[in-house]
Structure 1
């Protein structure tokens, strides 16, 4: 049976309101209070768009680039940017650099294997910031591509084609990490002290895009988004996407679940404030990336979903001292995002300090910047051309 809504809008209608400067746009934190005070039906009547934001480590990210050709031509087989290896098994001068790839000559690599200070995420940040990096390439040489090597300084404007393409971003929920062993462990969730002396977590909570549309009703292939300070697009489900997770009564997944694959529109418009190379001691390098997704309020269901609060979001706590060496493990507990943001949680009768890996202030800044773009008519919403599977 089809659901009957008291409020029904279309994205086209909302876009017309945006063009006329009449759209009512709020960020996801503002929507929490609106839904609480007015209810979902009145909120759906009043609000047209809710903007979300997150600025968090997103390891499955990187950049395609083409270095262009100068005679004699070259078919690159090995490529480096600032001594960070890139994947060159593509066309003649196409390559991909991943944010977790470490520099070949990083001194920490030689002294402390696994403790990289500079990697692919830093290279991309430098390029977005307008800096030059050192390009080096080697080739085996063929009749049609005789050149065997090239080395020069390049900036973003020197590269023929550049596109950020991130295979897995915006995890819909994720583990809060603790260490139950007697030694410090170094993980992609940051260093974890022994005997459960800290809990690290990574999400923007009630600002996070996929918590505000838990069933991906408005997000799909072709959805226009904020990506690192410029416009970008969702191009489908990300890797490791889970479409049928266990959920709570609000539809919020209780374990790591939905993910998105993202692509840039124009890298030259990006802002390095929203793309930062990172290095986690004892683990390696990655990058924090800013993503904002507008949620159109088409009906009262969407108003209800975007009214989600930190109290509604339950995150699983897992022991990374045991789980990640072994690849298995049980959930120790579920704690709310509100508890994690309070500064400590109680686990096994012990109060444990919590450490966020996601910047709440920059996540909110992203949601507000996207809100401003929409209010000024600089950003229109798009209809997904294909759904992303979710239960």
Structure 2
């Protein structure tokens, strides 16, 4: 019998999973269910045997998708005993600054944060509900906001009156699990940089930057929600708050319509009118595609300079995430705009949020009283 951890990253129509051996955190299986609620599909690989699974599913919700994942694990495991399910939760608010074992009370407090991450939090929590099928394995929540919890007030405060600040309107920051993994890799493989001043660019369909000084997050580009900062795949990034009131009052757009416009029809998708996929845009001859990519490179460079100001210097820029790792023309365009700065090192480090979550899950279980 082998003890294992199941790591879940649940989205609106997808459920990504990895299975890690508990002792050495070796990866045993990985896969995803996509198209939940429509044309669902399960793709997975069993690492030891190389067995590959790819077939359609009847998965109309996250619960049935989770059932398919558990059935798959039961079919291909080699005496695995699930000791915990570790979940990525986008928003932990001000209270959750470390991974926690989920209780009904904690679940209720996380549900109260749904308005701060409407595209992510409901589905992250749906993953917890679906994992009730594994009744003997506790649920562990890891938070994207937690890595930024130590920011000084100068970096997490909005210039608004105290009465509003007291209601939790402040900067939190996201992609923290990814940034924590990069900080860990730097400490292991580049200790000189780990002690220095590093801008990390988590560039994917969701995108942000982190100012990492001596291994700690000092500043980041996202704010109270995962909408702020850089333009993203379909999210606007930073926008004049007055534009929002204009949409609501003068254009008479319903709140839901404004939210959909900013979260689902903006960013690269909105700028190009073509796609939110960078490969598609790079392959396109349409000048709108080039403009969208130029805009992204400009904003990443501008915000990178801002992160350097927050740290008082720049020793390295680390690219990670789907775009950061794979889109060399985008990286080159960003670095070209930063060429006026004193020389700094450039690294590409693959994201591995799942392993970071497994590390947290194991540490939390081992810290529990006997």
Give me the TM-score of the superposition, normalised by structure 2: 0.24
Task: Name the one with the larger helix percent.
Answer: 2
Q: Relative contact order: is structure 1 or structure 2 higher (C-alpha 8 Å, sep ≥ 6)?
A: 1
Task: Decide which structure has the larger Cα Rg and report it.
Answer: 1
Give me the TM-score of the superposition, normalised by structure 1: 0.23
Task: Name the one with the larger strand percent.
Answer: 1
